[in-house]
């Protein structure tokens, strides 16, 4: 029997990419799943796909505190508790700091950082009672600032630090707090990334063919949750970036700059 049989798993941003892959896999493992997103049509398609399984969908914007509270309230009304919360909803950005509108930075933080805080705060009493798990899907950018992604990098650093503090506070409770850095993964996050003005750029500058699939990433995350790991850094490139930044930060600066720039222009 699966370790997640009849467990209540809450996943934010479950209509696309890694979030959707997590929904699919947890349902196949016998979990009761709840997910939220801003696009009702995508959520409805997901629910239709799993019509015979226990899946709660809820339209919510995680940057809105009341939406997060109402979402968790609906989860409790439907399932009675929360065993696992995966804060997956997020938005990226692509613009140089000199061109960037302050409101774009604020929007990225509201979704990536505050969305994690809101949902975790409202679900936490139930997770503590069940000695469950809180997960933050962050990024390699949460370990190493990436050019053109200043707001994204800052928000993911903030999430990592906040979850690390929470984990330390809860060490004696039996709750596991984990943060995951997927590395470059095939998903919609780059297509939906914000430009300097805070508008969706609508296309990805990255070649996604060689990237880890969302499904493979979800499998790694589920295994790490079952093993109650502290952190999970995925892809060889991601691990290399994290360790180089720790051991040889100035050298990492040069390598990261070379990766993202060509002839002085941001290309990725």
Residue 266 CA to residue 18 CA, distance in Å, equals 26
Query: Pick from 63, 58, 33: which is nearest to 43 by CA?
Result: 58
Phi/psi of residue 140, nearest 5 degrees: -60, -30
Active-site residue list:
152
Residue 205 CA to residue 193 CA, distance in Å, equals 11
CA distances from 247 to 67, 244, 253, 256, 266 (A): 42, 5, 12, 14, 26
CA distances from 33 to 15, 22, 56, 95, 195 (A): 13, 10, 6, 36, 33
Phi/psi of residue 178, nearest 5 degrees: -135, 145
- Per DSSP, the residues of 225-260 read HHTT-SEEE-SHHHHHHHHHHHH-HHHHHHHHHHHH
Residue 66 CA to residue 122 CA, distance in Å, equals 10
């Amino acid at each position: 029997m699966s370790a997640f049989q009849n467990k209540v798993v809450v996943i934010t941003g479950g209509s696309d990419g890694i979030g959707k892959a997590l929904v699919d896999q947890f349902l196949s493992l016998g979990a009761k799943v709840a997910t939220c997103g801003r696009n009702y049509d995508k959520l409805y398609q997901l629910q239709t796909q799993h019509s015979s399984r226990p899946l709660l969908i809820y339209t919510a914007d995680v940057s809105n505190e009341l939406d997060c509270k109402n979402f968790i309230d609906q989860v409790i009304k439907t399932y009675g508790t929360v065993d696992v919360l995966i804060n997956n909803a997020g938005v990226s950005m692509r613009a140089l700091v000199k061109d960037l509108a302050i409101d774009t930075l604020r929007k990225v933080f509201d979704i990536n950082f505050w969305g994690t805080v809101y949902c975790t705060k409202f679900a936490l009493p139930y997770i503590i009672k069940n000695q469950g798990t809180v997960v933050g899907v962050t990024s390699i950018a949460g370990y190493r600032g990436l050019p053109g992604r200043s707001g994204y990098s800052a928000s993911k650093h903030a999430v990592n630090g906040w979850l690390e503090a929470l984990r330390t506070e809860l060490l004696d409770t039996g709750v596991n707090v984990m943060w995951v850095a997927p590395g470059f993964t095939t998903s919609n996050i780059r297509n939906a990334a914000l430009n300097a003005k805070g508008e969706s750029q609508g296309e990805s500058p990255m070649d996604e063919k060689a990237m880890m699939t969302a499904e493979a990433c979800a499998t790694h995350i589920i295994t790490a949750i079952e093993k109650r790991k502290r952190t999970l850094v995925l892809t060889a490139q991601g691990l290399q970036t994290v360790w180089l930044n720790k051991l040889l930060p100035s050298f990492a600066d040069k390598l990261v700059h070379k990766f993202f720039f060509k002839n002085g222009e941001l290309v990725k």
